[in-house]
Amino acid sequence: MLTDTYKCTKCKEVKLKTDFHRCSRSKHGVVSQCKVCRKIESAEKYPSRKEYFRQYARENRVRINERSRNYGRKNRAKRRLIDQEWEAKHPLDKKRDMLNGKAKKFGLKERTTLAQLEALWEAQGGICPYTLMPLSPRTAVADHIVHPVNGGSNTISNIVFVTRQVSRHKLRLSPQTFSERAGLDFEVVSQRIEAIHCRYKNAWQANP
């Protein structure tokens, strides 16, 4: 095939077939004009493709912008849906990423694993230690008990699942300050958190 030659219908030169663009529909497997001739012809047809597209963009700016905006909108919804579906299937992955992202931001070395979070979730039994409200894997928030800015680590012993509402109000407050402000008995809260981590440790040791 490489040694096959073919005569260009334009410049009438006999050239190697590799000097022609391929065309599976044609009898000879290549187009009738050589690459050089095709290039010259297309340059004559479109004096400046760049200028042509620039002009087109100038004249159709509103339409182009609107179209790209619509496309973005359509895909945002689609992307969000894909994200949501993934999150629903893997609720703890997202929480692990959030925790580790936060740890990185505050310069903490420890990283939490998915297995640890799964074990903690089991140990916690779907109850928020602050409010005693039921937790769902999707809406629960994995919270640093002592916030990293106050010296809290990113180890599992400093993490507990709470409701979104607690997370929103606790922010960087210590568990004690938050409990007092929320009218909760801090002693009871800390006992609950301790019990969760005790169950976690036992389960972890039994099945590491």
- Residue ranges in contact with Zn ion by CB under 5 A: 8, 10-11, 34, 37
The Cα angle at residue 117 between residues 124 and 136, in degrees rounded to 5: 55
Collapsing DSSP to helix, strand or coil, 33 comes out as: strand
Which residues, at least 6 apart from 71, have a Cβ–Cβ distance to it below 8 Å?
none
Report, in Å, the least distance between residue 57 CB and Zn ion: 33
Contacts of 34 (CB under 8 A, 6+ apart): 8, 10, 11, 13, 15, 19, 20
Shorter beta-carbon distance to Zn ion: residue 37 or 128: 37
Question: Whose Cβ is closer to Zn ion: residue 33's or residue 155's?
Answer: 33
Minimum CB distance to Zn ion, residue 27 (Å): 18
Contact 165, 131 (CB under 8 A): yes
**Identity of the amino acid at 130:** Y
Least distance (Å) between residue 61 CB and Zn ion: 40
Nearer Cβ to Zn ion (37/140): 37
Q: Could you tell me the smallest distance in angstroms from the CB atom of residue 36 to Zn ion?
A: 5
Closest separation in Å from C-beta 38 to Zn ion: 8
Question: Which of 44/107 has CB closer to Zn ion?
Answer: 44
- Rounded to an integer, what distance in angstroms lies between the CA atom of residue 80 and that of residue 202? 39
Task: Pick the closer one to Zn ion by CB: 38 or 164.
Answer: 38
CA dist 24 and 12 (Å) reads 22
Q: Minimal distance in Å, beta carbon 8 to Zn ion?
A: 3
Q: Which of 44, 37, 33, 36 is nearest to 8 (CA)?
A: 33
Measuring CA to CA, which residue among 173, 124, 164, 165 is closest to residue 145? Answer: 173
> Measured from the CB atom, is 6 or 161 closer to Zn ion?
6
Residue 182: Cβ within 10 Å count: 16
